[in-house]
Amino acid sequence: MSGTHCVEHKPDRLEDDACSTLRVLVVAENIALRLSGETLVPYYYLQGFANAGIETWAICHERVRDQLREDLEPAQFDRMTFVKDRAVQRVLFRIGALFAPRIADLVFNQLIAIVTQWSMRAAVRDLVERHAIDVVFQPTPIAPKSPSFLFGFGVPVVIGPMSGAMDLPAAFRDMEGAVVRAGIAVSRWLAIGLHQIIPGKRYAAALIVANRQTRAALPRPIKGRIIELTESGVDLARWIPRDYPWERPPGPVRFVFCSRFVDWKGIGFLVDAFIPLARAGSSELHLVGDGELFDAIGRQIAEAGIRDAVTLHGRLPLAEYATLLRRCDVYVTPSLRECGGMAMLEAMTVGLPVVGVDWGGAAHYTTPACAILVSPSSKSALVAGLTQAMLELGGSYARRRAMGEAARRHVIDDNMTWRAKAETVAAILRDVVAAPPHARPRTTNAVPSALRYRPPASTTASL
């Protein structure tokens, strides 16, 4: 590891003020700028903590090593530790591929994450001792039901912000077959027992949750504090606002969707809803992303006869996607189980009004000034509502401009930037560390015998 430290073990803060900087260890399975979803969260906390003058180390999976080498400053990359896959993770991945994507996500991907955390324990303990870490911070996984192995290191642990435990709207629950529903129920039931033998969240000094729904999904009993803070954020430097001239520029109205092509993201309903606009002309739909429904959506577009009005971009590099966003007029998010909404916030920061579903993240993160939300009371009502909302915004440039400008203001005014979130979480970490020992949750260094595992030296690589 590079970097200059006053001592290698816990310094005496009273005797040496030069060593009083907060020392944080960030633990996450994946940390990446160029992947999607949760992988961005720990990346931006690393950057935000560095900007706040916090000394930060991190540990994650080696699959993101090459990307991080390019995206992080050399000094920060030198403080990264990487763990490798074990055979059991590869086997679980192959088995999960045989099941429905929702089961693979909820069961097998969770098991893979558990094994990865288990493999990290020895490296986390070593980093805590070697670098005089004050607090361990686990920003992902964001699911409150996911167990955490981060306990018993002799320093406080803070986990979150978490979000999740969300179901489909009642009218859409038949999208999940009996096997999927049973798998979800079993995974949630098993999570209750797992938290008793893997008590990281129950022992944490603080748990950060996005909303009351997430708070209700936490394991019991909880020894630490529970703090509410929304989990998604946006980078203002990357998402530059689009230009809004006073007069409407020539050309079609461009609607854009960016997410995984899976059923609960509602992309099939969006294609159906766009058919009247495509046939009327003067509108385009840009679909960005990939996933198991990519080919099916292509067939749906072809069968509807609207290929001239719809562009399937696939997965785009971030810079290319940011350029596309600034050329578009309305962001559409028909997701039916979106707890957060990072892509939506990015579009709002660019200055796009939102058409979404009055459920989950879109309902939490938007206001009527910047979004039109459609009730998910039925499938036909959702399709009709999306069509009507797109027609309304497509027909009024002045309304699009006003709502787009309001969307960016809302993101900034409501402190939904990564910089603001990192500052808030940094304050939480400092508060936890500053709390007198008797005010912290009582923890133990003892590890249940089933979890007493130390991976061989070859499973970790510290640069």
CATH number of the domain that 314 lies in?
3.40.50.2000
Q: Report the pLDDT value the prediction gives residue 193, as an integer from 0 to 100.
A: 65
183 falls within a domain: yes
Q: In terms of domains, do 333 and 408 share one?
A: yes
Q: Report the pLDDT value the prediction gives residue 318, as an integer from 0 to 100.
A: 87
Q: In terms of domains, do 89 and 222 share one?
A: yes
Q: Which of 212, 206, 259, 241 is nearest to 364 (CA)?
A: 212
Q: In terms of domains, do 353 and 333 share one?
A: yes
Q: Is the pLDDT of residue 444 over 50?
A: no
Q: In terms of domains, do 393 and 292 share one?
A: yes
Q: In terms of domains, do 355 and 207 share one?
A: no
Looking at the structure of the chain, the number of domains it has is 2
Q: In terms of domains, do 203 and 85 share one?
A: yes
| Percent of the chain's residues with pLDDT above 90 | 48
Q: In terms of domains, do 301 and 207 share one?
A: no
Between 204 and 179, whose confidence is greater?
204
Q: In terms of domains, do 34 and 57 share one?
A: yes
Q: Is the pLDDT of residue 24 over 90?
A: yes
Q: Which of 396, 413, 430 marks a domain boundary? A: 413
Q: Report the pLDDT value the prediction gives residue 101, as an integer from 0 to 100.
A: 66
212 falls within a domain: yes
450 falls within a domain: no
239 falls within a domain: no
Q: Report the pLDDT value the prediction gives residue 182, as an integer from 0 to 100.
A: 62
Residue length of the chain? 463
Q: In terms of domains, do 178 and 261 share one?
A: no
Q: Between the ranges 179-183, 321-325, 363-367, where is the mean pLDDT highest?
A: 321-325
What is the average per-residue pLDDT within 68-94? 82
For 209-232, how does the pLDDT look when each residue is reduced to its tens digit (9 = 90+)? 988 888 888 888 888 899 988 888
Q: Is the pLDDT of residue 415 over 90?
A: no
For 51, the domain range is 17-233+417-439
11 falls within a domain: no
Mean pLDDT score across all residues of the chain: 82
6 falls within a domain: no
Contact 400, 328 (CB under 8 A): no
Q: Which of 150-164, 310-324, 445-459 has the lowest mean pLDDT?
A: 445-459
455 falls within a domain: no
Q: Report the pLDDT value the prediction gives residue 396, as an integer from 0 to 100.
A: 94
Q: In terms of domains, do 386 and 425 share one?
A: no
Q: Is the pLDDT of residue 256 over 50?
A: yes
208 falls within a domain: yes
Q: Is the pLDDT of residue 400 over 60?
A: yes
Q: In terms of domains, do 165 and 209 share one?
A: yes
What is the average per-residue pLDDT within 54-59? 94
What is the average per-residue pLDDT within 295-323? 94
Q: In terms of domains, do 268 and 120 share one?
A: no
